[in-house]
Amino acid sequence: MLNMKSIKFGFVFLLMTPFLIFKGFTQEKVVIDKIVAVVGNSAILKSDIYNQQRQLESQGITFGANAQCELLDEMLYQKLLYNQAIIDSVEVSDQQVEQILDRRLRFFIQQIGSREQLEAYYGKSIEELKDEFRPLVREQELSQMMESKITRNVRVTPSEVKRFFNNLPPDSIPTVESETEMAQIVIKPPVDPEEIALTKERLNDIRDRIIQGESFNTMAILYSEDPGSARRGGELGFHGRGELFAEFEATSFGLRPGEISEIIETQAGFHIIQMIERRGEQINVRHILIQPQISPLQLSQARNKLDSIRNLIRNEEFTFAEAAKKFSDDPGKVSGGIMINPFTNTTRFKNDEIDRNLFFVIDRLDEGQISNPVPMMTEEGKQAFRIVKVTRRIEAHPASLDGDYDFIQQLALNEKRMKAVQDWIRQRIGNTYIFINEDFHHCNFTIQWSDQVAKAPK
């Protein structure tokens, strides 16, 4: 179980994602709100602290008697980052914000069971939830980008890692939580050619109506199946090269303002695109997305194909890695289907980093065993099936340099980054307006945020 005292500046984001976005959903009591701090032009409310404490507690983080002081300390840092990001003109695209929102919503849908159950639980539609938390996600992303800017040149050498570990007191050597390594073979259902033809025909009809004078904006709101942009008339906001699907990007950069593309296909489905504005190597376009529908028969075919692949592996006609390279529809097939943890970019997953539905599948498997075909959602939000192999289970144990070098290296890097962040904070405080309500002047913050508040003793 984590203790709040173990959370240091700059790395709380790792703990808060993807849960922070839902911090205000379920309040059990009414908090009488007021401003408790201001950094630059950004205020921190009493309710912000209350909601964040409840959210972190739901993740198993414990607090001492000074919980609100500890949380305000971290929030002041986040607001300082955000304030500097605005000053430095750090930008996050609308598409990036939508992708983050969509990813977190997919995670919560997987956790709670279905889109409908999520909406019923919170009493709001998916679009209402996204509207409510879009500004929060944008601020959080800008803060993280600013933090990355501060720490991007911080490195640790092998000798620094060794020295960091050797300087740890024996009773402070961290425990490595139990972890699982997995591989997967993914099969996407085949799409009926007739369904593709119908999808194109439908999209061509929409395109013809626009060319004859109807509004692209209105058509996108009515018909586009991209929930992130449909509500904005299909507009994606400004993007540079390398930020969009390759086919989408190539077509978009070739359009003149107001021009409408022919139908193009990407991983997400079929699109038509209209150029709104181009500024050098930045473009702003709107699009309408239509996705071919997958029938129950096609889903069944995908499941049956995976059953056959699983039998080939069990009969030792292929290893799992060989079968992944030959049959899988997932990009990870090139590495034999090895699954990469998106939170850490390693092959190891802690239990709370595995989506709930998959966890219940692999929790019953021993090392080396392969699951039956199970449904999943792809990164593009499409239905698919997969089989998963538990390639390795690592039991909880005290960290060692030999067996857990990457883990210890990350701890050493975090400590060095934290020092860089604290140096940056001290430099910025003198040039930034900071107000802290007298209710919090007793707090022993890790940084002396203002003349009225003392810094915590080391």
Q: What is the pLDDT of residue 117?
A: 80
Does 452 score more than 70 pLDDT? no
More confident residue, 236 or 319: 319
Distance CA 351, CA 59 (A): 12
Q: Are 243 and 95 in contact (CB under 8 A)?
A: yes
Query: What is the sign of the dihedral through the CA atoms of 328, 330, 331 and 332?
Result: negative
Does 60 score more than 80 pLDDT? no
More confident residue, 408 or 281: 408
Paired strand residues for 37: 44, 436
User: DSSP assignment, residue 338?
Assistant: B
Confidence of residue 456 (pLDDT cuts 50, 70, 90): very low
Q: Determine which helix (DSSP H) or strand (DSSP E) holds 407, and give its type and residue range.
A: helix 405-429
Q: Are 252 and 285 in contact (CB under 8 A)?
A: yes
The order of strands in the sheet holding 269-279 is 235-239, 282-290, 269-279, 264-266
Closest to 141 in 3D by CA, of 60, 20, 228:
20
Confidence of residue 5 (pLDDT cuts 50, 70, 90): very low
Paired strand residues for 62: 3
Does 7 score more than 80 pLDDT? no
Does 151 score more than 90 pLDDT? yes
Q: Are 85 and 145 in contact (CB under 8 A)?
A: yes
Residue environment code for 77-113, b if the CB has 16+ CB neighbours within 10 A, otherwise e: bbbbbbbbbeeeebebbbbbbbebbbebbbbbbbebe
Distance CA 265, CA 168 (A): 55
Lowest pLDDT segment from 11-20, 136-145, 172-181, 320-329: 11-20
More confident residue, 163 or 241: 163
Lowest pLDDT segment from 51-55, 104-108, 270-274, 340-344: 104-108
Q: In angstroms, what CA-CA distances link 259 with 235, 243, 288?
A: 14, 21, 14
Q: What is the pLDDT of residue 438?
A: 92
Q: What is the pLDDT of residue 355?
A: 86
Confidence of residue 3 (pLDDT cuts 50, 70, 90): very low
The percentage of the chain sitting over the pLDDT mark of 70, rounded to a whole number, equals 90
Lowest pLDDT segment from 10-14, 133-137, 176-180, 437-441: 10-14
For the chain, domains (ranges, CATH) are: 2-158+402-440 (1.10.4030.10), 178-191+295-395 (3.10.50.40), 193-290 (3.10.50.40)
Q: What is the pLDDT of residue 216?
A: 96
Across 130-148, average pLDDT: 91
Paired strand residues for 149: none
Q: What is the pLDDT of residue 162?
A: 96
Distance CA 7, CA 25 (A): 24
Distance CA 255, CA 434 (A): 47
Q: What is the pLDDT of residue 115?
A: 74
Q: Are 369 and 202 in contact (CB under 8 A)?
A: no
Cis peptide before 18 (omega within 30 of 0): yes
Residue type, 256: R
* Residue 64 burial (CB count, 10 A): 10
pLDDT tens digits, one per residue of 291-304: 998 889 999 999 99
Q: What is the pLDDT of residue 22?
A: 46
Mean pLDDT of the chain: 86
pLDDT tens digits, one per residue of 225-255: 987 788 889 998 888 888 788 899 999 999 9
Q: In angstroms, what CA-CA distances link 356 with 112, 114, 291?
A: 8, 12, 27
Q: What is the pLDDT of residue 94?
A: 82
More confident residue, 272 or 450: 272
Distance CA 402, CA 248 (A): 46
Does 449 score more than 80 pLDDT? yes
Confidence of residue 223 (pLDDT cuts 50, 70, 90): very high
Does 146 score more than 50 pLDDT? yes
Confidence of residue 344 (pLDDT cuts 50, 70, 90): confident
